[in-house]
Amino acid sequence: MSISALTHRVRVLAAPGDRHDEILTPAALDFLGRLAAAFGERRQEVLKERRRQAIRIAAGAPLDFPIATSAVRTDRSWRVAPPAPGLADRRVEVTGPPEHRMAVNALNSGAQVWMADFEDATSPTWDNVIVGQLTLLDAVSRRIDFSTAEGREYRLGERLATVMVRPRGWHLLEEHLEFDGRPVPASLVDFGLYFFHCAQRQIDAGYGPYFYLPKLENRYEARLWNDVFVLAQELLGIPRGTVRATVLIETITAAFEMEEILYELREHSAGLNAGRWDYLFSLIKTFGHRTDFLLPDRAKVTMTAPFMCAYTELLVRTCHQRGAHAIGGMAAQVPGRDPAAREAALAKVRLDKEREAEDGFDGSWVAHPDLVPVCREVFDAVLGDRPHQLDRTRDDLEVTAADLLSVRRVSGPPTPEGVRTNIAVALRYFDAWLRGQGAVALDGLMEDAAYPHCRWWRSWSRSTRRPGRSGPSRTSPRGSSARPWSTRGTGRASSSTPCSFPICWPRSAWPSPVSPPPPTSTRAWNSAVPTPWDR
């Protein structure tokens, strides 16, 4: 892998802001340029593989565990790297955007881990991206203390949560940074700026640069991340294997390659996480062309549904047989001030976390610091003084491809109230997202991009899968009644919008013969979904 001198440096296309120069230093931009030069073309290749897989599934190809990698799954000898400092005990992890107040509250919450989220919980305005990096730099340097105009003080305590960072997915671009005439991949921006400024600081503090990797769909994307880690460590003189990364299994295709993903990242792996709401979104999106994959209202698809049980049980079994942590899904409840409502919310969280702890998970996520004590109490009861339960290898468990796809057992008719709720929550979230807010409390739940994604696609699948209707025609003329959204299918915003939400319509809804004009903005385009102009 070449690390020779660059002929072009990353250009900043945005106006300078307060303290931006602390993050966008010439050395940091040069580091980003080396990453973009080394991995830009490979990123395009893994996105092409996503499109090829989508075409195969839409054409009726069965989704199954890959035959080509059966040797990896049957080889019982390999293991991932041992837990890194600060990641041995992960019974409670709190998540949220990298914003100063949230950072202080999360670090002081009593959770073992704070996952600073540049992805679903952050609306990717330029200011949010750079302020998020400044927040992490200040937190790692322990200079994040501040007081509000009302006199409220935010101060770091003695015992702090371990920091993990979730960059944006491979499918997104950061249009405010340009390398060789093209936008820099957003994942490399979020990873690279944090790694450049904070990796050595974290090592000096006794920890390391730790990450969550979102939206992976197959082993090739995990291999790409592993190579990014290797080069980044080499460029900054950091020992190989210092990086640790937990992969979110939040796509249906990744669920069939859990072991392969761990194998590709094994020297840098910190386990897998059950990203359950994005997982549902992926299932609906991937099989949107199938009438037998129509799901009922969100409240009726719980984690006790057979196909969701199969997904989480396989994740625990896979992780523990390879010495990796299995981290449970998000508890999104926001405890209110009303005592009865608060008690009801905490009871739901407790029940959810009891199920996860009993299933063998080593820890779980919460979206609000007030949920940390409940989650801790549940996992304390199961773990005791042990940091995890990796010894529960679940050898008695066997999960098949049919188990992962057994949605018929929870199928049911949609309700008008469910459709109204989906649309209302999605639109309210989009409104907040376009105003720069990525984590929004709505109806007692902390909503991020995963939730409206799932709600929006549920509404789409219902509207196109009514009795007697097989869905939009791929050959229908542009602007026909089969595509009432017409110009909204691109997933990109016009240049007049501050940022664009990655709304992605199913492949079956796109007309093959006619190509829409190239959009004017590249921010937050979900190129995971094939589009006519990039075939």
Could you tell me which of 112, 406, 453, 403 has the C-alpha nearest to residue 276? 453
406 exposed, middle or buried (CB, 10 Å; 0-12, 13-18, 19+)? middle
Structure tokens of 6? 């660059």
**Catalytic center residues:** 166, 448
Cα(487)–Cα(491) distance, integer angstroms: 9
CA atoms of 154 and 144, how far apart (whole Å): 8
- From 18, 163, 181, 176, select the one nearest 86 (Cα to Cα): 163
Helix (H, G, I), strand (E, B) or coil at 174: strand
Q: Are strands 363-366 and 326-331 parallel, antiparallel or unpaired?
A: parallel
User: 110: closest CA among 67, 35, 162?
Assistant: 162
Q: Is the CB of residue 248 less than 8 Å from the CB of residue 213?
A: yes
H and E: helices and strands count for the chain: 16, 15
Q: Measured between alpha carbons, how far is 156 from 160 in angstroms, rounded to an integer?
A: 8
Determine the distance from the C-alpha atom of residue 431 to the mean position of all C-alpha atoms in its chain, rounded to a whole number: 21
Handedness of CA 286, 327, 134, 265 (dihedral sign): negative
Q: Is 238 left (phi over 0), alpha (psi -120 to 50) or beta?
A: beta
Whole-number Cα distances in Å, 242 to 35, 48, 194, 257: 18, 30, 15, 24
